[in-house]
Amino acid sequence: MYIFLNKKIVKEADALVSVYDHGFLYGDGIYETMRAYNGIIFMIEKHLERLGRSASLTQLVVPDTRFITEAVHRTLEANKLSDAYIRVTVSRGKGPVGLDPSLCKEPTFVVIAEPFREYPEHLYKKGVKLVIANTRRNLVEAINPKIKSLNFLNNIFAKMEAKERGAYEAIMLNVEGVIAEGTVSNIFFVKENVLCTPAPEVGVLDGITRELVIRIAKKSGIRVSEGRFCPSDLFSAGEVFFTNTTSEIMPVSQVELVSFKVGEVTKALHALYKEEVRRYISAAEQQRSRATGA
């Protein structure tokens, strides 16, 4: 595999980051994950916009969007990938031991691209099991969830709970006991013909897939409620699913001891999401053809 490190493509064995990098020492950095379909990075503009927001909120300098876009495409090309998982990481960079960000003179920039491995089809047909973690989501006042941060220990603890209890994913509550999000996902449920999902202000990273699903639902005439929901609201729902960049819309068959069917709303939204992806990829391919004169 080849990695884009700082300003060039290098072999994986040569993609070395200093032990004094503050991303390693303190988790001081940000990242974005993306998915490429047929060589087109889906909604890359939204991902780069959010990376810029994370950078602004952490006072971290990142390369401009043109440089990042080129780096992502070069990494795909170097690894001969068309359907891929992509991760862009920017850390504070190398500096002496200490928390002062000014100790680091230049950020570390990394792009990783790996072959995308499709999720097993049976997961989408039967759904997955979730549990509600004892680990609470970080306070909004402590770490702003709008920052997609390398500092992920909070979520890792919840993921450990999920694994220990034989679950696929964990739902995290905020300090008030209100549903926030999964460890790497946004939570949705359907109740009384309304699509419900936690509002960003309860402690949610406003996922790009989440935003698209909400838009698709509204366009399809489905009522959407973004609010404050307790576990009891979810337990009395008819359908549950979660979203993220790689799994898109993943049905949930069980939360704790409560079972759910993979319902018609979930299936319909996933089909519409797939159609949105196809439209985006088709438009991007046409634009690329015009640009190259093909």
Which residues form the catalytic set? 148
Distance, CA of 139 to CA of 149 (rounded, Å): 14
Is residue 285 classed exposed, middle or buried when 0-12, 13-18 and 19+ CB atoms within 10 A define those classes?
middle
DSSP 31-58: EEEEEEETTEETTHHHHHHHHHHHHHHH
Contact 58, 146 (CB under 8 A): no
Contact 42, 34 (CB under 8 A): yes
3-class DSSP string for 68-95:
HHHHHHHHHHHCCCCCEEEEEEEECCEC
Place of tokens 């159609």: 275
Instruction: Tell how strand 128-132 and strand 169-173 pair up.
Output: parallel
The amino acid at 6 = N
Is residue 146 classed exposed, middle or buried when 0-12, 13-18 and 19+ CB atoms within 10 A define those classes?
middle
CA of 222: how far to CAs of 152, 217, 241, 256, 269, in Å?
A: 34, 5, 15, 27, 10
Q: Indicate the DSSP class of residue 184.
A: S
Distance, CA of 104 to CA of 90 (rounded, Å): 13
Answer positive or negative: Cα dihedral of 285, 288, 290, 294: negative
